Amino acid sequence: MFIYVGCAGGGTSSMLCQRIVKAIQQDENLTAIFTDVGNAFRKQREYGNDYDLVFAYGGIGAIRSYNAFDFGRLFDVVFVAPQVRFLTPTVKDLLREFTTVVRDIPMKIFGMMDGPRAFADLLDELITLDDERAYQSATMTATKASDKDIEILVVGGDSQSSYFQQCFAEWETGELPYSTENFSLERLYQFETTADVGLRLLFASSAQLKEEELPKVARRIDGVWVMPQSQLGFQEKIGGFREYQIPVFQPEAREVFSMQGASKQQDFLLEVLQHAEYTREISVARYEEPPRKERKTFLGIFSWE
């Protein structure tokens, strides 16, 4: 079980995690470790295999719309410290599509900082929460396409250009509802509309897409449309999107200038639709987790990595 303990900045939550884990280590039936949240994400596979309870500490504000997928996929429980309890509704809303249980840390557990007593109280709490999460797991699923529209990242394009205006006219003729907007990571994940939108285009410059943000973009984006003027300097990132098995469309300059290539656009949109329908969002994670280090043994007694 992965447990995230969030406070204002991570300091007091790290102290609590340390003392609880120290108490757990006295119990021969359980194994536990505590670490910062960044390390928990990097080593989630080995921690999950080696320990019964993994406590990660950090600021509760670290949970944002664009990384809710990370937290929702990894953590079984998110505990919110008393001093930031006013953020509990926000955290619950961010993780509403996942089976993660969000709870306020009982004041008694957080305040006494007594490892053994806190462990005893927390163990009862975790058993209850584990039962609750098991129920949620049976009723909730997370897929990449079932709960949202088709989203395409347009790199180096202008929604007001003749090229795209012609595309929009054809879509309107075919009664395809669409929307256009400028790209930002926050906007990508926070999209709410009362209108029926089937296709959402987010226009970005190649400089906007930072290498470290590529996984977050890839989890949400269904296709990438790269205009000719951005293709040369964007090849490395195109390779990154293709590693995530995301369709990439690169129209030639002559097709853009002559406003031709409608059949290629349609083929791309069909490929994107097919990809979104059959790709589960959770499958993206397998491209990001580093392989677990092989443990070496000597005489079956000593082991090391």
Classify residue 51 by its DSSP letter: -
Per-residue confidence (pLDDT) for residue 54, from 0 to 100: 92
Q: How far apart are alpha carbons 24 and 118 in whole angstroms?
A: 10
pLDDT of residue 75: 92
Give all domains of the chain, ordered by start, each with its CATH number: 2-139 (3.40.50.2300), 150-287 (3.40.50.2300)
Q: What is the pLDDT of residue 144?
A: 45
pLDDT tens column, 105-129 = 878 777 777 677 777 777 777 777 6
What are the structure tokens assigned to 229, written together? 């003027």
0.75 cut: is pTM over it? no
Q: What is the mean pLDDT of the chain?
A: 81
Residues of the chain falling short of pLDDT 70: 114, 129-148, 192-195, 277-305
Q: pLDDT tens digits for 28-54?
A: 788 899 999 999 998 988 898 889 899
Starting from the edge strand earliest in sequence, which strands make up the sheet with 2-7, in order?
32-36, 53-59, 2-7, 77-80, 101-104
Phi-psi region of 246 (alpha: psi -120 to 50; beta: other; left: phi over 0): beta
Cα distance between residue 192 and residue 39, in whole Å: 33
